[in-house]
Structure 1
Amino acid sequence: MVAGVVLALFGIASSIAQPLAGRLSDRAGRRKIFVIGGLVVLGAINLAFAAATAYWHLFVLRVVQGLAAAFTITASLAIVNELSDAGSRGGNMGVYNSFRLIGFGAGPLLASVLLEMGPFTMPGGAEVTGFEATFAVAAATAFLGTGLVGVLVQDPEGTAPTERRLALRVWDRSGSGWRLDTIFALGVATLIMASCMALLSAIEPEVNARLGQGPFLFAVEFVALIAALAALQPVVGRASDRMGRKWFIVLGLMGLVPTTLLQGVVGAPWQMIVVRMLQGGAGALVFAPALALAGDHTEQGQSGAQLAVLTVAFGLGISSGQLMAGFFVSFGFIVPFGIGSLLAVGAAVLVGTQVDEAEPAPSAA
């Protein structure tokens, strides 16, 4: 239970803080300082984990870690959006998301290697446990990122402080009749996409028992989706720059229907690996184009807050998918996957009817 709370606190704190963090960077008219500040705090918190001696220490550290991540995520995403034009935004969002996913997958793998290889003897003779080395490396990567951003990244030209009223809307009343706001509708679609992709992670014992496998094959199945997402997003993003974004998103959501449902049907580990890779491909059709289309629709000076709608939706989708799987699997193994596939159908209809394509993008080279 404590492990679950520790894991969840990061996502909860980050999701709550991201709209505020995005708004603050909008009002300041500066992004880089928020990215650097978030990375510095992340580095310090990573070091502090090694010194924690009580559960409440972990709770506090995870909340602060989530808050720091919120500032880094929203400001860095706003930089990518503002440095892009309509002809390159999809590809840039794809590259940005791919590196985020590579880090997400590499972190646990590196931690397991360090834990297994430790303890380590340092040049001066001091001994460092694998546990301490894990958080030291995590802190070092955060500080390395701080230095890279400080040297290589500049605030986009034309970014200026804004006092404009925050434009976060559920309904778009600009046309005839009532329709959902495009960014809000994309947020709902992103939430459902993330929920479908997160169903497997919460029911590892049931999956292993059903497929007759151990933790290693489950880890391969988990990473298969991340690998497909990371590999395909830049390609899909660039294609959406040339061909438009909306129907990539609809196609990806429709692809989530069979690839989610089949996870509740397959009976062998290799089948689950293949289906998870296909689900990652479907998710790639949604993720980068949705971020790029939301970026196409952001208002001047409000990239941070408005794009936070999608980043918050992704985090909440991961949590809701895990909760849904954990609750509904008791009614039958296929049940959570069936519910996820039905939600994907609804999301495809939602995007098809409620989302507006941006102005045609110029052809990308």
Structure 2
Amino acid sequence: MRNLFRRILAQFIVDRRVLTLAFARMADGIGNSFLIIVIPIYVGSELITGTTFGLGESMVIGIILSIFGFLNSSFQPFTGRLSDFVGRRKPFLMVGLAGLAAMNVAYVFAESYLTLLAIRGIQGISVAFIVPASVALVNELATTQDRGGNMGVYNTFRLIGFGAGPVAAGAVVNLGPYTLPGGLAISGFDAAFYIAAITAMLSLLLVTVLISDPDATKANAGADLSIAIRDPTGKNLLDPIFTLGVASLFMATAIALFATIQPQVNERLGQGETWFGLQFAAFVLAQVVLQTPIGRASDRWGRRPFILGGMILLVPSTLVQGFILSSELMFVARLVQGVAGAMVFAPSLALAGDLAGEGESGSKLSILTMAFGFGIAIGPLSSGALVDYSFEAPFIFGTALAVLGTILVYTQVEETLETAHSVPIGSDD
């Protein structure tokens, strides 16, 4: 048992700055995911008024939530490219986290739908400063021998934060109002917004005190930052990083189809909200458990086998969700889909990091993070439109995307590790 614990602990031995950044993203992930639960309730409360331009409440909620993802993904290539140009990551992290914290406080004073939309939009832009800079920094603090493991550790803690937030958010709102020392009372909504702001400030503090830019990043500022679509080597038709971006877009879209069809899923399976919550969480659970070990394994045995295997596994795990008639089997399907996602995400970032030249990490890796973000936004919109035709239609659509992504990876992406590494996990060598 002791040896097993040591092996598990060894999985998380990384550069101190990578671990600090992972904890910082976990903290801001808790606060940001709070809002996914709180905002719909807040919009539906009597505290928010104003014109909705003839739109229904559910559509207003959808727009407010989705504006975050679209602006976040749209701005990532620009902030990633800019961080490469100036040769700094830390200032971008600080600007993004400060903006996130300020906007979390701003929710307390929001009184209209348009104000909420503006606040959520600014938050999306703020996070666009954080994501490319943080992934680029993890890449630059890693080497070819441990890049997959570092990406896995970073993503594991980020997902823990993202998964923990919604669990606590509903309780914080429902248990309000709260009486603070001195007799000051705050509502459950205000408490949730303040908690989200505090987590962002904690992340900002960690980054300010413990994170520093590598010297190599500063030395290579202003390097060639062009984004290639065609393979510059001429071996394949498409650039491998661009191909991985497209595959990530397809994967994220297929995964996110499930999010917005809760009523249809529950009706078809004859289940309640608890089962749907478990099925939705199954994907995140698999990601949290497997991101780091799969990232470590990709450092030993190569990136491509895991990416290709994950895309292949995504095909049946997406398709069966359209035909399953059991709550238990739907949980298993979502769990397998999470395994597929874990096999693709960290090794893809590692492979892109292997290919990125000095001073290019922000530009290159932002292609993958942007594509994944767009997929998470497109998936719910696609399922919402396609489910009107039949329950199976969204999942058939997602399966087609997964098949196309698999073909692209198989034909356009080559291995970046020349040999398998035999360095023991957790070794400093």
Instruction: Return the match for 1:71 from 129, 147, 153.
Output: 129
Contact 1:248 1:285 in 2 (8 A): yes
Q: In structure 2, how many angstroms separate the alpha carbons of the residues matched to 1:126 and 1:34?
A: 36
Counterpart in the other structure of 1:166: 225
Counterpart in the other structure of 1:3: 61
The 5 Å alignment of 1:36-115 reads 36-115=94-173
Q: In structure 2, how many angstroms separate the alpha carbons of the residues matched to 1:213 and 1:156?
A: 52
Shift of 1:33: 1.5
Q: TM-score, normalised by structure 2?
A: 0.83
Shift of 1:28: 1.3
Shift of 1:294: 0.6
Q: In structure 2, how many angstroms separate the alpha carbons of the residues matched to 1:300 and 1:363?
A: 26
Instruction: Return the match for 1:134 from 184, 192, 196.
Output: 192
1:20 counterpart letter in structure 2: F
2:110 counterpart letter in structure 1: A
1:223 counterpart letter in structure 2: A
Residue 211 of structure 2 corresponds to residue 157 of structure 1 = no
Secondary structure of the corresponding residue to residue 167 of structure 1? coil
Once superposed, what is the RMSD of the aligned Cα atoms?
Answer: 1.2
Contact 2:216 2:359 in 1 (8 A): no
Contact 1:87 1:363 in 2 (8 A): no
Counterpart in the other structure of 1:226: 284
Secondary structure of the corresponding residue to residue 34 of structure 1? helix
Q: TM-score, normalised by structure 1?
A: 0.97
Counterpart in the other structure of 2:256: 198
1:149 counterpart letter in structure 2: V
Instruction: Return the match for 1:287 from 320, 345, 349.
Output: 345
Q: In structure 2, how many angstroms separate the alpha carbons of the residues matched to 1:199 and 1:34?
A: 32
Contact 1:88 1:364 in 2 (8 A): no
1:189 counterpart letter in structure 2: A
Which of 103-112 and 300-309 deviates more? Answer: 103-112
Provide, for residues 238-275 of structure 1, a one-character-per-residue CA deviation record: whole Å limited to 9, x for no partner.
00000000111111011011111111111122211111
Moved over 6 A (4+): none
Counterpart in the other structure of 1:335: 393
Shift of 1:20: 0.8
Counterpart in the other structure of 1:12: 70
Which of 180-189 and 265-274 deviates more? Answer: 265-274
Q: In structure 2, how many angstroms separate the alpha carbons of the residues matched to 1:326 and 1:259?
A: 20
Gaps of 5+ in 2: 1-58, 425-429
Shift of 1:163: 2.3
Q: In structure 1, how many angstroms separate the alpha carbons of the residues matched to 2:177 and 2:272?
A: 27
Q: In structure 1, how many angstroms separate the alpha carbons of the residues matched to 2:422 and 2:359?
A: 25
Contact 1:241 1:363 in 2 (8 A): no
Shift of 1:173: 3.4
2:173 counterpart letter in structure 1: L
Contact 1:25 1:75 in 2 (8 A): yes
Shift of 1:162: 2.2
Shift of 1:116: 1.4
1:219 counterpart letter in structure 2: G
Counterpart in the other structure of 2:321: 263
Identity of aligned residues (%): 49
Secondary structure of the corresponding residue to residue 158 of structure 1? helix
Q: In structure 1, how many angstroms separate the alpha carbons of the residues matched to 2:283 and 2:108?
A: 31
Q: In structure 2, how many angstroms separate the alpha carbons of the residues matched to 1:260 and 1:203?
A: 14
Shift of 1:58: 0.8
Counterpart in the other structure of 1:318: 376
